[in-house]
Structure 1
Amino acid sequence: MFQKITLFLLIGMLIGCGSSKPTIVTTKKPVGWKYSKPIQNGSSSKVTNQSSSKPLNTNEAAKAYIAQYNGVAMSNMKTYGIPASIILAQGVLESGAGQSDLAMNANNHFGIKCHSDWKGDKVYKDDDSANECFRKYNQASESFQDHAMVLTGKKRYASLFKLPKGDYKAWAKGLKDAGYATDPRYPEKLISYIESYNLSQYDAKVLGKESKKEETKVLVQDDFGADEASLYEIQKGDTFYSVSRKFNLTVEELKQKNNLTENSLSIGQKLIVK
């Protein structure tokens, strides 16, 4: 009997000692979780893209991006002399067709860094060096405007404006030579986007060089598989709600079709509605 009591006491002591061992808890990440490296703003708080919308593939995103911004690109070409094809190709490349951290969280579509003359909001992100400073805008249209201001306002880009407006190859090479990007293949990448997505058609529209044959081609290929009946041009007074009602869509469906996250629209902007 004494031996049994002793045995029970020993077992109890062992159980008591084991209970002090910390419990290891494992958790599983939810299905569809994807890591996104955070961008830090000036106050060092972190911003991550947590959109629940299904991401577009690269080709779809590029098509939607170009359909959305070709209007502002042509407007900037008319005003500042920068080829619309170059503006769009740079936008697609630098912003990942609007899906990069900088584009989503800072509305920076052209990878423009702060530099000493920038007085606006800032975000910090690893690039050529760690924790580099990039400009932050309230909306994408400000990024397109600032892109034009940078190219027209800095002396190192002055030689670009002596080039023919329709010569996108010379402009692509000139941007690299002027120091816009450090990637040695930057010109080739821009030219590839321009030729893959027929972006030179927007230069032709601005320069008035479209022939009837070219116009027919645009109806088939413009906006990349979407004919004119699939597009709607924003008019004065339009809102996401009014446009979505007009085409029997929800606001969320309209934004997803066009890879949009902002709530603002601009007159002349084209949206994919079918």
Structure 2
Amino acid sequence: MKKTFTLFILLLACFFAKAQTTEDYIAEHVDFAQKLMRIHQVPASIILAVAIHESAAGKSKIARFLNNHFGVKGPNSSTEINSSYRDYPTVDSSYSHFVSFLHSRSYFNVLFSKYDQYDYKNWAKGIQRGGYASSRTWATQVIGLIKKYELYQYDDRPDDYIETVIPAAKVVAKSTKSSRTKPRSSIARSKTYTIKAGENLNKIAERIGTTSSSLMKKNGLKSAVVHPGQKIKL
């Protein structure tokens, strides 16, 4: 009888392990990720994607035994596993520490003033540049997760938000000049843009792959100063 009960528990555990999908993980943690985003202006998509990447969507050992969902190293008091990663009392505390960790390091803290809460691509690139992970493809993988699971939908983006264009690192030799300079279709369709609080021409120009001087010329502006609510041509 005891063996039968033990087998039943193991089968039940296996069932729930299989049932826990990445979509389940997102649904479980999205509310807290958005709460952190609204307080700190870090994209919820970045918080979720980094957690998914570093914890295998909550399935890694350090996530299960240490509540560590961001691969942060440090001491722990676990008697269940031997690990060089720190432990947390709850999963939410791991999420909160990730954001406070970004604030506490100068090479990450600059991202808060440089990028808004919708610019997940530059956040991912910036976190990689700061040395968060040694892999050269880390940012690409995080961005890939955001796109695959459409995590950007949780960033409270305005309807007319213009997504950042990050130039490719290499250009294929056979590409023509027109193909290299042609903007992405989603941006080409946007003819005007409404300035939001905290934005400037430099930020907008960076997103659409142009320069602030070009935007000034197109809009007949004598300076780069713009105001919330002002409409400009792209």
* Corresponding residue number in structure 1 for 2:18: 56
* Corresponding residue number in structure 2 for 1:193: 145
Structure 1's unaligned 5+ residue stretches are 1-29, 35-49, 115-119, 212-274
* Corresponding residue number in structure 2 for 1:178: 130
Secondary structure at the counterpart of residue 135 of structure 1: coil
* Corresponding residue number in structure 1 for 2:228: none
Shift of 1:113: 0.9
Q: TM-score, normalised by structure 2?
A: 0.58
Shift of 1:188: 0.9
Amino acid paired to 1:56: K
**In 2, are the aligned partners of 1:98 and 1:104 still within 8 Å (CA)?**
yes
Shift of 1:210: 4.7
**In 2, are the aligned partners of 1:73 and 1:87 still within 8 Å (CA)?**
yes
**In 1, are the aligned partners of 2:62 and 2:69 still within 8 Å (CA)?**
yes
Shift of 1:80: 1.3
Q: TM-score, normalised by structure 1?
A: 0.50
Structure 2's unaligned 5+ residue stretches are 1-5, 161-234
- State whether structure 2 residue 111 is matched by structure 1 residue 156: no
Amino acid paired to 2:88: Y
Of all paired residues, the percent bearing the same amino acid is: 33
- Give the 4+ runs in structure 1 shifted more than 4 A: none
> For the structure 1 residues 72 and 196, does the alpha-carbon distance in structure 2 shift closer, same or farther, using more than 3 Å as the test?
same
- What is the number of residues matched between the two proteins? 152
Residues 3-25 of structure 1: CA distance to partner in whole angstroms, max 9, x if unpaired? xxxxxxxxxxxxxxxxxxxxxxx
> For the structure 1 residues 123 and 177, does the alpha-carbon distance in structure 2 shift closer, same or farther, using more than 3 Å as the test?
farther
For 2:33 and 2:127, how far apart are their aligned partners in 1? 17
Tell me which of the two structures has the higher relative contact order, counting C-alpha pairs closer than 8 angstroms and 6 or more residues apart. Answer: 1
For 1:113 and 1:51, how far apart are their aligned partners in 2? 32
Secondary structure at the counterpart of residue 134 of structure 1: coil
* Corresponding residue number in structure 2 for 1:121: 76
Secondary structure at the counterpart of residue 84 of structure 2: strand
Shift of 1:122: 4.7
For 1:51 and 1:95, how far apart are their aligned partners in 2? 22
- Cα root mean square deviation, aligned: 2.9
Query: Which one has a larger percent helix, Structure 1 or Structure 2?
Result: 2
* Corresponding residue number in structure 2 for 1:167: 119
For 1:122 and 1:177, how far apart are their aligned partners in 2? 31
**In 1, are the aligned partners of 2:66 and 2:78 still within 8 Å (CA)?**
yes
**In 2, are the aligned partners of 1:86 and 1:194 still within 8 Å (CA)?**
yes
**In 1, are the aligned partners of 2:41 and 2:116 still within 8 Å (CA)?**
no
